[in-house]
Structure formats: C-alpha cells, structure tokens
Amino acid sequence: MKPFFLSTPIYYVNADPHLGHAYTTTVADAMIRFQKLMGKRTFFLTGTDEHGDKIVRAAQHRHTAPQDYVDVISARFQTLWKELGVDFDDFIRTTEARHVSRVQQFLQLVFDRGDIYHGEYGGYYCFGCERFYTEKELKEGLCPDHLQAPEFIKEKNYFFRMSKYLEPLRKHIEANPEFIRPERYRNEVLGLLREDLGDLCISRPKSRLSWGIELPFDRNYVTYVWFDALLNYVTALEWPDGERFRTFWPEAQHLVAKDILKPHAIFWPCMLLSAGLPLYRHLNVHGYWLVQDTKMSKSLGNVVDPLDFARTYGRGAFRYFLLREMQFGHDASVSEDALVNRFNADLANDLGNLFSRVLSMTRKYFDGRVPEPGPIRVEDEEVHVLAAECLENYQELFGRFQFSMALEALWTLVRILNKYVDASQPWALFKQKRQEELGTVMYTLLEGMRKVAVHLWPVMPEESEAMLAQLGEERPAQQWRHLADELLHWGLLEPQTKVAAASNLFPRVELKTPEAAGVPAAAARQGKAEAFPVTSFHTAELLDFEDFQRLDLRVGTVISAQPVQGADKLLHLGIDLGEDQARSIVAGIAQHWSVDALIGRQVVVVANLKPRKLRGVTSQGMVLAVHAPEGLQLLGPSKQVPPGSRVS
C-alpha cells in the first residue's frame, strides 16, 4: 500500500496562533488519522516559518533578539497542537541547522543549473506579505491582503528563472486535473499562468535584511523568505538522500488556505522542476474562516482563540465543528452560536441519543451483553445495505478532503439507526418475547454504532475511543488502529461482549462564553483551569430513552368543544389528529378556557393513552397543559403544523 505524506503550511511566528491555523492543522491531523485507519504508513509535517522582515519587526517591537522571540512563539504553536490533540511526526523550524544547510544545498544546485541570475529589480513591496506586487495585483494601490500601501523598492538582486518552467507546469496541471483541488483553485492557477509572470526575485540584500539564510554563492544576500519556507517540505524529509524522502516524497500532499495558493501552485512546482525533483501529488486548498464576513487574521485583529472554544465545549466537539461546518474549499463563518447548534443537533441529539437508548436497552433485554443475532429479516438487511453505502460514501469523501459531506454521510447512518429503533420497536419485541428478532435488531444497532465510532476516530479520537470502550472494545487504541481493516467489516462484534450499562456521551450544552462557564479564558490559557474536559460520560440512572419514546405525543387542532354535563371543570373536545375521525378527549380546562378561544388552537396530545370514560364520555387521550400563575396554559407548537405531527 502506498504511503501518505501530508504537510500544513509552516506558520509565521509574528503573532500567536488563531482558529485559522488550528483549522488547517486539525484537518491535517484528521486526514492523517484517516489514512492510518485505512492502513497506510503516514508522515505528518508541520512547523514554523521564522525568517523575514516581519519576524524581525515583531521581535523589535518586543525588544527581544529575533532568535529568542521565535523560540517563544514557535513553542506556543507546538503546545497548542498538543493541546488540540494533534499528533504530528515532525515539527520543522526554518531556523534549524538541518533546514538551513539543505536550503543552501538546494540553492547551489539550482544556481549550478543556470537557473539563478543577478539583475536589477524595482517593484511594489508589501512588508506584510514579504513579496513584490505587480500594479495589476494591487487593489486601488493597496496590498489586497493587508490593505496597506506597498513601498516601491529598487535594488540589485538574484532571480530564479521561473519563466522557464511555467509552460511545463501548465501542461502538468492540464494533464492532472486533481493536482490542485478543489477545481476552483485549479482554474484560478490556470488563469494566473495566462498572465506574464516572469522570473522570481529570490534574494534580499543583507544591508536591508540579515535575518535569513545566506546565499551560498553570494554572502551579501539572504534568501527570499518564500524560497526558504517552501523548501521545508523536503528538508524535513531529509532531502536529498534520506530514507524519509525516498519513502514519502513520491506521495506528498500539501494543505494550505487560498491566501498562499500562488507560492504553492506556481513557485514551488517550478523550484522542484528546476532541481529535477518529482512534483507533489496534490495541493489541497481550503477557504477562509470569517468573522462576521471578514477574513480572520492577526493583521485585521479579529482572531478567535481556538483554546477558548476547545476548553469550553471539549476538543472533540471543537474538531467536529471545524470539519463539519466548513465545506472544504469555501469560506465559512465561525461563531459560538453555530458551534453550540452543531453540538446539540448532531452530537447530543442524533449520536448521543442513539448510544444512550441502545445501550440501556441492551442492559434491559440482554443483561448488558451483545446478543446473538437471529435470522436476518428484509428490514434488517436493508439497514446493513444502507450502512455499507453510508460508510463507503464517508470513506470516499473523506479521502478527497470533503469532510463536511463525509460527516453528513456518516450522520445519515446515525439517523438510519435511530429510525430503525423507532420502526423495529425493540421494547415491543421484548414484551412479545420475540427473542430472536430482538437479538437481530440489537446486534445490528450495536454493530452499526461500532462502525460509526470507528469512523469518527479521525475527527474525535478521544470520544471515538470512549464510544468503542462503551461497546466493549478492550484493546487500547494503538492496537485496534492497526486492526482497522478488520473493524471496517460488518459482523465482527462478538456476541456476549459486555457493553456499558448506560451512556450520556454528549449532554446538551448551553451557549456560554468561557467566562460564563467558570473558565476565564486567560486563566485557562495559563493552565490554571482544568484543561480540555473530554466530553463527559455519566453513568447515572436516568429515564430510559425508549420509555420516553413509548409516549406518542402529537399535535392536534381543536375543532369542537362543549361542556360535559354535570362537571363544571370538564370540556369535551374534538381534536383533529390527522386521522379519519376527530379524537374525543375530555380535558379539565373548562374554568380556564372558553370554547371560542379553543377552536382552531393547536395543542399537544398524548395520543396512545388507553381510552377511559369520564362522566359517561369516552376520552381517547390527554391534552398537555401547565399551571402558571395566570391560569392553566396549553402547550402547543410555536407555529401551525399539520395535525397529527409527532412531537420528538
């Protein structure tokens, strides 16, 4: 099986990491874990980009030496990744000797091939981006990213003959539709290649900037920061002759946001072509996280600290949110509201409920052990087939970086399993002593849940492991990870395995800022507060979900109301529940509600109560109400719904 190599950008250390950096790194971590699950040998590279003007200026601003400054900020990135559960294989820093010496080796190689020459250059230079802009690229004379006027600089410099490789690169992109993906970025790059890009200025005179890697063929210059930074992808792999390089470079993939498309899609492949190295396989490009419609960025001062969210809602939930909320390739907005909604809808309601109800039924009906499945009926077979389809979709989409759609596919399975509980009514099978059918249903559910849990490992590793533990998986994650192949097949759950008695995986959350949750953000960052609660797992005895499910609550419309003779508290209501005939329900509301106020009103009805007679009138259900200081209030939907709609 082919190995798998994935890199993130190496981040600038001129400020602390924010949610944008956390997204790219989390995506990379999830993808690496997914490939591991698929049995691949993987290598995950991240790091920090530590040379250049803006780093020097940031250090000066803090009255520290550049090296001391970069040491501190680089360490913050490393700590953050650990805290977010990111498991990288190497963290490269461009100030490390292993990088510096190889960058010089690469420059010499390209120089010796005649692809570097000395010349004069004048252009608009943005110090924020550390690059020259053509007039056409500027927006009303300003840098499009920093919205600041660039400086016109004219000086003697070294140039890389990029123009020589632009046509071969264009051909490569045309011949390999997935080289840059998603397609919108491929098209953008093909558009750029239609312009006259010329050669690339790759040096800065030391008189202007000394914080960089010296050119091996001219000590008066240092390397342009992008030429230095892009090379991290091969220096970390021990180019030219390291074992890592031989193994992983042929399967290299990069992950970046659209802000750094041009250096990755154009400069970097041209550099590789010049050095005679194979091109990477894929450049995967994502959009921006926005805060109220504006790109989140340290220069715009609107950044979100990923730790605030992860500490408040759990890092698994945070990772789930990042992957589910952004359609890879498009921009997405971040807000605490959106996170809480996702958590409650997907994790608390859909997934949490499934685990809670199925585990408690297993306890009740099979003494907490996985039952022996009985014969497979058509409806069970249907679930097996649908589950296989969902998992196949998930795997296919995840492998193509379409995380949001992949998770949607997995949640289709979660919902199918929830519906299967409702449709097969295990509690009724139990009551009717249909043990074999009950065994099949419960086995199918438990096995389906196991598949969901395994597939969630790349996204929420700790929660996935906890779910598997609830399903009786005793092997530590390191072991079953390598048995992934086996875990992906249906029917391997051993009958008689003891499962957890109850589960409360994702208790619903309320919108809360870290302060409101009792975790002041600043204190939490300094490690004073409890770090990262993995979503909690209570085992307290609560109402079984299926007990609640047995209640058939429906919305009905009152179509008639009349007093019951001899009973001044009762009204005889006719309620439309979408059935052939109106339901006859006697309700003790006469002293609070007039007939007129009732007609046309929608109410909630317990529709499966045994009929009983009240003052000679048959009542086929009950209307729900609440005693309030102003009198008895009737429960109903916030908007009109079709009569007979189920309350869930």
Residue nearest to ligand MSP (CB): 20
String of DSSP letters for 435-480: HHHHHHHHHHHHHHHHHHHHHTTTT-HHHHHHHHHHTT--S-HHHH
Angular region, 141: left φ>0, alpha ψ -120 to 50, beta rest: left
- Measured from the Cβ of residue 6, the count of other Cβ atoms closer than 10 Å reads 25
Closest distance between ligand MSP and the C-beta of residue 280, in Å?
Answer: 12
Closest distance between ligand MSP and the C-beta of residue 78, in Å?
Answer: 14
Q: Which amino acid is at 509?
A: V
Q: Which is nearer to ligand MSP, 225 or 407 (CB)?
A: 225
Q: Please give the Cα distance from 150 to 124 (Å, whole number).
A: 5
Closest distance between ligand MSP and the C-beta of residue 204, in Å?
Answer: 16
Strand partners, 605: 554, 623
Closest distance between ligand MSP and the C-beta of residue 183, in Å?
Answer: 19
Closest distance between ligand MSP and the C-beta of residue 62, in Å?
Answer: 18
Q: Please give the Cα distance from 313 to 310 (Å, whole number).
A: 5
Please return the burial class of 192, using the count of CB atoms within 10 Å of its CB with bins 0-12, 13-18 and 19+: middle
The structure tokens listed for 610 are 């045994």
The beta strand positions in 296-382, using DSSP E, are 332-333
Burial 82-110 (b: 16+ CB within 10 A, else e): ebbbbebeebbbbbbeebbebbbebbebb
Closest distance between ligand MSP and the C-beta of residue 516, in Å?
Answer: 26
Closest distance between ligand MSP and the C-beta of residue 19, in Å?
Answer: 7
CA dihedral 479, 483, 489, 495 (to 10 degrees): -40
CB 186 within 8 A of CB 180: yes
Helices within 567-624 (DSSP H only): 595-598
Q: Which is nearer to ligand MSP, 332 or 446 (CB)?
A: 332
CB 55 within 8 A of CB 95: no
Applying CB under 6 A, the residues found at the interface with ligand MSP are 9-12, 20-21, 23-24, 49, 229-230, 232, 256-257, 259-260, 288-289, 295-297
Residues with catalytic roles: 18, 21, 126, 129, 143, 146, 295, 298
Q: Which is nearer to ligand MSP, 254 or 451 (CB)?
A: 254
Please, which residues have CB within 8 angstroms of residue 93's CB and are 6 or more apart in sequence? 10, 47, 48, 50, 70, 74, 99
Q: Which is nearer to ligand MSP, 230 or 558 (CB)?
A: 230
The vertex-466 CA angle with 463 and 468, nearest 5°, equals 110
Closest distance between ligand MSP and the C-beta of residue 606, in Å?
Answer: 49
The structure tokens listed for 235 are 């220096």
Q: State how far Cα 167 lies from the chain centre.
A: 37
Q: Which is nearer to ligand MSP, 50 or 544 (CB)?
A: 50
Q: Which is nearer to ligand MSP, 256 or 623 (CB)?
A: 256
Q: Which is nearer to ligand MSP, 55 or 604 (CB)?
A: 55
Q: Please give the Cα distance from 145 to 297 (Å, whole number).
A: 10
Dihedral sign for Cα atoms in the order 558, 563, 567, 569? positive
Q: What letter would DSSP give residue 557?
A: E
Q: Which is nearer to ligand MSP, 285 or 456 (CB)?
A: 285
